[in-house]
Structure 1
Amino acid sequence: MFVITGATGQLGRLVIDRLLQKVPASQIVAAVRSPEKAADLAARGIQVRQADYSQPATLDSAFTGAEKVLLISSSEVGQRVAQHQAVINAAKKAGVKLLAYTSVLHADTSLLGLAEEHRQTETALAASGVPGVILRNGWYNENYTAGIPGDLAHGAHFGSAGEGRISSAARADYADAAVAVLTSGDDQAGRVYELAGDTSYTLGEFAAEVSRQAGKPVSYTDLPEAEYKAALLQAGLPEFVAELLANSDAAAAKGALFDDGHQLSKLTGRATTPLSVSVTATLAD
């Protein structure tokens, strides 16, 4: 039995879609906070079980009969260590054979502020005795393409990444990697994968690609971290989100989002999705 946590999230749904190509729906459990949001998954023959990271009792029941679990990291920054620990505890009680965790690229050395909770989770998993595999996901192409409408409206993409190169891939690429690990006949326990795109780009190159495809001028405006955060706050973003985005860009300027190991494409058996393809898809929507 495969249990996918956060199954109604953007990554979770992609994992479910791809897992269905490998195993029967009856062998998949969609573990979700709000089952009513997973009616479409239930209609496909997938078992839907409530699983709230902040309510351990729901995790115990959700993991009944589980052999392999994919722990998609919580989106609640600041609460993730305790939430992930609850998942690890439930997995241990259930006697799962493999717990895969979506961490962040180079979590052990990363300058990203958000990496700390991932480091603590990786440590907790290692100490638990639960057979675990770490999927250190790099940035998603969608992290940037989602902002294309705003970039076009302003004629500029703002950031604080300088000339830092970003090795991103499409969210679907990371979903394929997770499924490859979960369905592999090899022993995955103890492995750590640094997952990133095959190619990299600067935000200046990203802006140029958007401009080229859209046929409209879009430039990259690089700002000091504090100024970028202030601009995000002025745009209406919550304090913690503005802090996270500005910090991530500043870390990217120092190489935090770059990797040229090609482990993602080796794991999936195909090239990662180029940024240009994701830009095209966004502009077509």
Structure 2
Amino acid sequence: MSSIFVAGAAGTIGSAVLTALRDAGADVVAGVHTPEQAEGLGQSGVTARPFDFADQESMASAMQGCDRLFLVLPLAEKMTRFGHLAVQAAKAAGIGYIVRSSGYGSSSDAHWRLGREHGMVDQFVEDSGIPFTTLRPNTVMQNFATKLAPMVRSGVLALPEAEARVSYIDARDIADCAARLLLDNAGHESRVYALTGPQGLSLAEVADILTRTTGRPVAYRPVEEAEYMDALARAGVPEWNTNMLVSLTRVVKLGMAGNVTGAVEHLTGSPARSFADFAAASAASWA
């Protein structure tokens, strides 16, 4: 049986991939950022190894004995550098196949900054000589249960996306696609899959679903970009991350994030989860 290393196993997508692989009975190693995270996972029976995305040697050491890699990177100023080091570490560790979790619409020549950052990492993977499959998921629904949960609880989604639609995807669907590939990648090498949910939703429609789920009124209030940036600054979001998030909202407003693909069902045999499904499963986040 192949041994699979999940980089970023404590994050939203990485933890979902870890769960999907464990449920499938895979031999999996969780890569996490701190010894405390490794200890916590170890107590639940998971083999976990701490590593540092900024340290190629620590990553190569953590990957030793594994032959498959799930690579998702943190949204951080050195993300592209982290991606380069991770690919070099994978080569040094003898990784034989990579599933890269990128971003929707990404490419090394994308006109929007976050798309270029992701796209450059995708290019590192492609140029590595290691067999790979790239997943490019749209914005995850789980953001509404984590980063945006205070807005949901306040009853107002104050965001600058106007009436544009986004085909939000459940992180569990990303994980199911990744797990399927990591367990059996036959016919999928060197392919790129754009992953979306089953429908494009405006934030007003998202608010309606959240209202029905929580039993409390939730409304969408469109704001100007400057107000959004000020709110991020007050929340302590670093300037680089703010710029990346703003670049993403601009793409959304251009109508480039509402398309729907059938890639989730193609890879897993099951349709993508709806936003209503996600909301029902996440109701405790807004209690």
Relative to the length of structure 2, the TM-score reads 0.88
Shift in Å at residue 107 of structure 1? 0.6
Name the residue aligned to 1:201.
201
Shift in Å at residue 87 of structure 1? 1.1
Using a 3 Å threshold, how does the CA distance of structure 1 residues 156 and 47 change in structure 2: closer, same or farther? closer
Q: How does 1:115-126 map to 2 (within 5 A)?
A: 115-126=115-126
Post-superposition CA distance 1:65-102 (Å, at most 9, x none): 221111112332x2011111111111112332201111
Shift in Å at residue 236 of structure 1? 5.1
Q: How many residues align?
A: 281
Shift in Å at residue 199 of structure 1? 1.4
SS in 2 for 1:11: helix
1:192 is the counterpart of 2:192 = yes
Unaligned residue ranges in structure 2 (runs of 5+): none
Name the residue aligned to 1:10.
12
Shift in Å at residue 185 of structure 1? 4.9
Name the residue aligned to 2:21.
19
Q: How does 1:52-201 map to 2 (within 5 A)?
A: 52-76=52-76, 78-108=77-107, 112-146=112-146, 147-153=148-154, 155-201=155-201
User: For the Cα contact (< 8 Å) 2:104–2:138, is it kept in 1?
Assistant: yes
Superposed CA RMSD: 2.2
User: For the Cα contact (< 8 Å) 1:167–1:258, is it kept in 2?
Assistant: yes
User: For the Cα contact (< 8 Å) 1:133–1:191, is it kept in 2?
Assistant: yes
Using a 3 Å threshold, how does the CA distance of structure 1 residues 88 and 209 change in structure 2: closer, same or farther? same
State the identity %: 27
Shift in Å at residue 2 of structure 1? 0.8
Amino acid in structure 2 at the alignment position of 1:3: F
Amino acid in structure 2 at the alignment position of 1:202: S
Using a 3 Å threshold, how does the CA distance of structure 1 residues 91 and 234 change in structure 2: closer, same or farther? closer
Amino acid in structure 1 at the alignment position of 2:6: I
Task: Name the CA distance, whole Å, in 2 between partners of 1:247 and 1:204.
Answer: 21
Shift in Å at residue 235 of structure 1? 5.2
Name the residue aligned to 1:227.
227
Using a 3 Å threshold, how does the CA distance of structure 1 residues 43 and 162 change in structure 2: closer, same or farther? same
User: For the Cα contact (< 8 Å) 1:226–1:246, is it kept in 2?
Assistant: no
Task: Name the CA distance, whole Å, in 2 between partners of 1:38 and 1:94.
Answer: 20
Task: Name the CA distance, whole Å, in 2 between partners of 1:53 and 1:233.
Answer: 25
Relative to the length of structure 1, the TM-score reads 0.89
SS in 1 for 2:158: strand
Shift in Å at residue 118 of structure 1? 0.8
Task: Name the CA distance, whole Å, in 1 between partners of 2:240 and 2:81.
Answer: 19
Amino acid in structure 2 at the alignment position of 1:47: T
Shift in Å at residue 112 of structure 1? 4.4
Unaligned residue ranges in structure 1 (runs of 5+): none
Shift in Å at residue 43 of structure 1? 3.6
Task: Name the CA distance, whole Å, in 1 between partners of 2:253 and 2:14.
Answer: 29
Shift in Å at residue 221 of structure 1? 1.6
SS in 1 for 2:282: helix
